[in-house]
Structure 1
Amino acid sequence: MHPYLNQISKINLFKSLSLDTIEQHIFKDSIIKSFEKGEVIKGRGDCLNHMIVLLFGKIQTEIVDFNGKIFVIEQIKAPFVPAIGFIFSKVSLPMDIIAVEKTTILFIKKEEIFSLLMKNKEFLEIFLENIGNKVNFLSNKLQINTLKTIREKIFYYLIQLYNQQMSDKIVLQNSLEELSQLFGIARPSLSRVFSDLEKEGIILKKKNEIKILNKDYISNLFENKK
């Protein structure tokens, strides 16, 4: 049995595949490489000939603007498949993929992935779902990036969930760590603002559920921006 088989099987994308299929196709002619902190795994302008699978460690995707300012898109912990939307794209990568700590990457030939997509309907559905989720994440990231304050970012996110769930009790779809990445802020800062909003009687937060107590505050917050 391949030593990384169990680690691969933890990834949502591969949950429909048997261990035998993973061993026969995913590891066939694949390449495993280690990267030290700060090393570029793939850079802007590169084309992907392989699926990148983050086995161990943590990576960061980032872009640089015309003034040289680095904009972090997200930080990703293993195990995960980053840049999934670029595997079969003719467009080169628009961002850098950097190792945040010592990281192990599995590079799978895209021909093997294509073969599995053609043979396994459930794998295809999960693959497309992952791409859709990533598009949604980036869309929200861009919209949230236009908002100035942490409060605005929080309430924009909560309004999106409220419209989806149509309930006064909003169930968070992301952990605080994931939200801090989405908002582009430090996790302690996010926790502090959530705490302030509770003290001010604007929201009530219990674990991953939030109830909005003062809807007028939110309406006025965004009304004043018009």
Structure 2
Amino acid sequence: MEKYIEALQKCEVFAGVEKKCIEELMRYAKIQRYDSKELVRSRNDECDEMLFLVEGEAFGLFTNPEGHVLQIDHMFAPKLLAAAVIFSTEAKYPVDVETAQPSVFLSIEKDRFVSYMMKNEQLLRNYLRYVSDAFVFITDRFYEITMKNLVQKVCSYLVRLMEEQKSPVVTLDMTKEELSREFGATRPALSRVFVELEKLGIIEMEGKRVKVNDIDYVQDYAEFG
């Protein structure tokens, strides 16, 4: 039990919180052990607990309707899971949680944890900061994924044009507005991709004329998509 208390002390949520408070909370914690590659929680499971990973590591995974698995997070102990959704109106786990190796989790009833936060300002401040950081991480992660997918779509489009026009210098056959609708993206997001590719020296643009300087890069990204 002492090693789990020590693990919680290293968790951001308990930074600067007296050990006595953690020991009191531990009296109400349920210890759950899992082997490697075990499903800990499923997406849309009710989230009415403070779930801490105190030993091992786990993945936050999202499976789309086509069955493709996307890794959203790689979590290492000690860490509080689902911090950003616990107090939402319909609190449910947003992703599947699967262990990467044998791991140990501590589950503390949500209302019990709230009562301790109300009595301990440091714990409350830590939690609010933790939730804010989690929100920023999730926003950045999805932006990264969205932009990556958009780069793949742009590269695939350029490869098609090079094949059709039989040249590394191509003329776009659609406007940026039409392309953004084709790719399911906003026009500013699409424009940022072209700007970034140009900054990297992958392409050169002049109006609707695009010169592909790094054909291998464009083809590799297109195939990856």
Q: TM-score, normalised by structure 1?
A: 0.64
Listed as ranges, the gaps of 5+ residues in structure 2 are: 153-195, 209-225
RMSD: 2.8
Q: Give the corresponding residue for 2:97.
A: 97
User: Which of the pair has more CA radius of gyration?
Assistant: 2
Q: Give the corresponding residue for 2:147.
A: 147
Q: 1:23 to 1:146 in 2, by over 3 A?
A: same
Listed as ranges, the gaps of 5+ residues in structure 1 are: 153-214
Asked if structure 1 preserves the Cα contact closer than 8 Å seen for 2:47 and 2:92, the reply is: yes
Q: Give the corresponding residue for 1:208.
A: none
1: distance between equivalents of 2:112 and 2:16? 15
Q: Percent identity?
A: 23
2: distance between equivalents of 1:123 and 1:223? 53
1:5 aligns with 2:1: no
Asked if structure 1 preserves the Cα contact closer than 8 Å seen for 2:82 and 2:94, the reply is: no
Asked if structure 1 preserves the Cα contact closer than 8 Å seen for 2:47 and 2:91, the reply is: no
Q: Give the corresponding residue for 1:186.
A: none
Q: Give the corresponding residue for 1:129.
A: 129
In the TM superposition, residue 100 of structure 1 has moved relative to its aligned partner by 0.8
2: distance between equivalents of 1:119 and 1:10? 21
| 4+ long deviations beyond 3 Å | 217-224
Q: How does 1:1-226 map to 2 (within 5 A)?
A: 2-24=2-24, 26-89=25-88, 90-148=90-148, 218=199
Q: 1:98 to 1:19 in 2, by over 3 A?
A: same
Deviation per CA, 1:100-156: give whole Å up to 9, x if none. 11000111111221012211222211111111111111111111112339x99xxxx
2: distance between equivalents of 1:104 and 1:61? 16
Residue identity in the other structure for 1:93: Y
In the TM superposition, residue 82 of structure 1 has moved relative to its aligned partner by 1.7
1: distance between equivalents of 2:36 and 2:204? 44
2: distance between equivalents of 1:139 and 1:70? 19
In the TM superposition, residue 76 of structure 1 has moved relative to its aligned partner by 0.8
